[in-house]
Amino acid sequence: MEALRLILERGSLSGAGDELDGRGFFLRAAESGEPLRWQDPLLSEVGAQVIRVAGTSYRSAELGDPGFEPGNPLALVREPDNPHDANAIAVWNDERTAQAGYVPANVAAVLAGFEELCALSLWEWRDSTGDRIGLRALVYPEGTVRVPRLR
């Protein structure tokens, strides 16, 4: 199977008043140029998913790390000895110096069958003070998705 080629398109969503602000990248299929929803079947066909990183509220200080900016690669670290979930996959910045949270358990169970995984910070949510409070990431088995390098 050929890798799904994606185009990343910068975007943002502004809230009003106390609402959250979001920014990051929307996805397009490189072949057709068509926009892809985060739950698009083209992604799931190759084992890719856009996830909401779980547990970010417990790591607010680490979540501010610049390595979690949208467009940056992320490290996915399996935790087979995790007492709550043997399929647990932690989400770290690429240097593995700050942990944002975890891949949701239902997605981690699906990804358990793949040997090598990749991830890209895709979208962030910030509160009215400008602090990053949420993160979405594109996770995929190695070799199934091609995205342009943004650095």
pLDDT digits 0-9 by tens, 2-23 = 899 999 999 988 765 555 689 9
Residue 20 is predicted with a pLDDT of 65
Residue 40 CA to residue 114 CA, distance in Å, equals: 20
Which band of pLDDT confidence, cut at 50, 70 and 90, is reported for residue 151? very low
DSSP state of 128: T
- Tell the burial category of 16 from Cβ atoms under 10 Å away from its Cβ (0-12, 13-18, 19+): exposed
**Residues near 27 by Cβ (< 8 Å), separated by ≥ 6?**
6, 7, 8, 9, 35, 36, 38, 40, 43, 50, 122, 138
CATH number of 4-146: 3.30.70.2330
pLDDT digits 0-9 by tens, 49-81 = 999 999 999 999 999 999 999 999 999 999 999
Residue 127 is predicted with a pLDDT of 87
Would you kindly state where each structural domain of the chain is located, as residue ranges? 4-146
pLDDT digits 0-9 by tens, 94-119 = 999 999 999 999 999 999 989 999 99
- Tell the burial category of 48 from Cβ atoms under 10 Å away from its Cβ (0-12, 13-18, 19+): buried
pLDDT digits 0-9 by tens, 81-91 = 999 999 999 99
On the question of pLDDT at 134 being above 90, the answer is yes
Residue 104 is predicted with a pLDDT of 97
Residue 116 CA to residue 68 CA, distance in Å, equals: 20
